[in-house]
């Protein structure tokens, strides 16, 4: 029967997985005893009898705890410990706690590259005390890494949520600035864009467009057909709008064509393309083909204008003149002003 002081230690409760150990010892009796204690402490143990096999096991498994016999042949202990230290310094993710095994009868000076010295023969408690600082340090590093990973995941989650919120905000912004029927920008979007262009102080042309006799279409065929006409007009106009120009639905049958960096002549030509696009082909609806025309008023920025609102009012006046002249035509504000 085992004496109390020689009895095997009680098993360690598995609160967390114990770090693995590389045990490099040329002394088979000591190696066997140490391996026995280490396994009862809950460690996975890799045993090596010489420096070559120790190097191979270390490179393959990267165990965080090293127990190395100081008397390994060919300066094996010194080379192995220095290699482990160098690797840990080069690669922060690899942690190594090294223990040098030295016989109590040996008078040799311990190697400076080790973290702890364990004099043998030893017992279970002494082995635990020797490994405890390394295990504690490893646990702290693992906790820090876990916290860092949690923080990284929290940051990634926050980024995703922020991006999702930004996308939702942008979607709501677009919806707030988009006409539901035609999918063109609405009046608010038109005025915002007009002001932005005005503030840039370059040439700027605008065209106010109005579908002729649209109320009669609604009265005769119903608002459903009227909506089909508006959708088809917007689709047709998109195909013939000059690159850089922007169409908006201002409300009802009234539209705005914004022509940045354009004078009145260029804006008038853009308006004419839209007029011909309607005049040349009727709109197909559930009620049959419906002929649709437009009247347009064109204006461009002048030195006398003090705001983008003045520019819009000038285009409105030209639109009124186009309607008054018989519709299905375009009038320039400057021409009417000179004629007046």
pLDDT higher than threshold 90 for residue 106: no
Q: Which residues contact 219 (CB under 8 A, 6 or more apart)?
A: none
131 and 196 together in one domain: no
- Rounded mean pLDDT of 228-255? 95
120 and 192 together in one domain: no
* CATH number of residue 35's parent domain: 3.40.50.2300
Q: How many domains does the chain contain in total?
A: 2
β-strands 246-251, 254-260 pairing: antiparallel
Q: Is residue 169 part of a domain?
A: no
Find, among 250, 12, 255, the residue nearest to 135 by Cα: 12
pLDDT at 174: 86
**Catalytic: which of 253, 254, 264, 333?**
253
- Rounded mean pLDDT of 235-262? 95
Winning range, highest mean pLDDT, from 88-97, 116-125, 292-301: 292-301
Whether 264 is catalytic is no
The domain boundary, picked from 96, 120, 146, lies at: 146
Question: CB 163: neighbour CB atoms within 10 A?
Answer: 10
The domain boundary, picked from 81, 114, 146, lies at: 146
Query: Does 199 or 143 have the greater pLDDT score?
Result: 199
Instruction: Tell me the pLDDT band of 12, cut-offs 50, 70 and 90.
Output: very low
pLDDT at 100: 87
**198 Cα distance to chain centroid:** 34
Instruction: Tell me the pLDDT band of 97, cut-offs 50, 70 and 90.
Output: confident
67 and 140 together in one domain: yes
pLDDT higher than threshold 60 for residue 107: yes
- Rounded mean pLDDT of 181-186? 96
Least confident of 44-53, 102-111, 132-141: 102-111
141 and 220 together in one domain: no
323 and 191 together in one domain: yes
Q: Give me the sign of the Cα torsion angle 212, 215, 218, 223.
A: positive
Please name the residue ranges forming H helices in the chain.
28-40, 51-61, 76-90, 124-176, 187-199, 214-221, 223-240, 264-279, 308-324, 333-339
263 and 332 together in one domain: yes
* CATH number of residue 329's parent domain: 3.30.70.270
Q: Which residues contact 146 (CB under 8 A, 6 or more apart)?
A: none
192 and 141 together in one domain: no
pLDDT higher than threshold 80 for residue 98: yes
Q: Residue 245 is part of which domain span?
A: 187-339
pLDDT at 3: 40
Question: CB 155: neighbour CB atoms within 10 A?
Answer: 10
β-strands 294-300, 283-285 pairing: unpaired
46 and 117 together in one domain: yes
Which residue, chain included where needed, has tokens 């004496």?
A: 3
Six-digit token string for 69:
């016999």
253 and 331 together in one domain: yes
């Amino acid at each position: 029967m085992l004496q109390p002081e020689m009895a095997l230690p009680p098993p360690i409760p598995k609160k967390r997985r114990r770090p693995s150990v590389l045990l490099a010892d040329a002394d088979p009796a000591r190696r066997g005893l140490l391996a026995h204690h280490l396994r009862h402490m809950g460690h996975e143990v890799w045993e090596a009898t010489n420096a070559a096999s120790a190097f191979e096991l270390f490179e393959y498994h990267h165990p965080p705890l090293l127990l190395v016999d100081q008397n390994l042949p060919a300066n094996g202990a010194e080379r192995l410990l220095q290699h482990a230290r160098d690797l840990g310094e080069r690669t922060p993710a690899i942690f190594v706690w090294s223990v040098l095994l030295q016989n109590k009868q040996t008078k040799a000076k311990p190697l400076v590259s080790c973290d702890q010295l364990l004099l043998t023969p030893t017992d279970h408690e002494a082995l635990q005390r020797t490994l405890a600082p390394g295990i504690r340090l490893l646990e702290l590093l693992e906790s820090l890494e876990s916290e860092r990973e949690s923080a990284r995941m929290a940051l990634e989650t926050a980024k995703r949520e922020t991006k999702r919120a930004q996308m939702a905000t942008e979607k709501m912004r677009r919806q707030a600035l988009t006409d539901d029927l035609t999918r063109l920008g609405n009046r608010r979007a038109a005025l915002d864009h007009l002001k932005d262009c005005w503030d840039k102080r370059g040439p700027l042309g605008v065209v106010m467009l109005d579908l002729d006799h649209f109320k009669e279409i609604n009265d005769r065929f119903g608002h459903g057909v009227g909506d089909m006409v508006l959708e088809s007009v917007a689709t047709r106009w998109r195909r013939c709008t000059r690159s850089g120009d922007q169409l908006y639905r201002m409300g009802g049958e009234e539209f705005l064509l914004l022509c940045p960096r354009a004078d009145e002549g260029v804006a008038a030509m853009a308006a004419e393309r839209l007029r011909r696009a309607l005049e040349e082909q009727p709109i197909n609806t559930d009620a049959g083909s419906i002929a649709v025309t437009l009247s347009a008023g064109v204006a461009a920025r002048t030195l006398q204008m003090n705001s983008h609102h003045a520019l819009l009012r000038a285009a409105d006046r030209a639109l009124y003149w186009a309607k008054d002249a018989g519709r299905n035509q375009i009038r320039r504000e400057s021409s009417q002003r000179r004629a007046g």
